[in-house]
Amino acid sequence: MIEIRGREIRTSEIDQEVAKGAAGIVLKMGQTVELRVDSPTCYTTDMKIHVNYRELPRLVKPNDLLYIDDGKLVFLVIDCSMEAVICEVKQGGVLGSNKSIKLPAGKHEHMPVMQLQD
């Protein structure tokens, strides 16, 4: 039997120059960050977090909460464009590479269960 992860949105690798050798990037409460969907292979910085799901801006709307890294970080959606979701950090912490992003209830149903890599 093979386990299939299914619906999953993840951040990209952390830019080690920005992290300065640390395990991740520190995001502080009140900080504004941009979730970018145009270049999932780019490195994540303290201001631009690249994600692997291009349709993210179409699934969320202002005032939605996004839970990053199993809820260790919480972002409030402020605005959306075709290539980015602008968020305010509501619960800060350290963001590492390839961390999960959980959407508000009911939003995951629009994502395909099987991905190309599955």
Rounded mean pLDDT of the chain?
86
**pTM to 2 decimal places:** 0.84
SS3 110: helix
Report how far apart the first and last C-alpha atoms of the chain are (Å, whole number).
14
Q: Regarding beta strands 48-50 and 32-36, do their DSSP bridges make them parallel or antiparallel, or are they unpaired?
A: parallel
pLDDT confidence of residue 86: 98
pLDDT confidence bin for 106, thresholds 50/70/90: low
CATH 2.40.33.10 fits 9-100, yes or no: yes
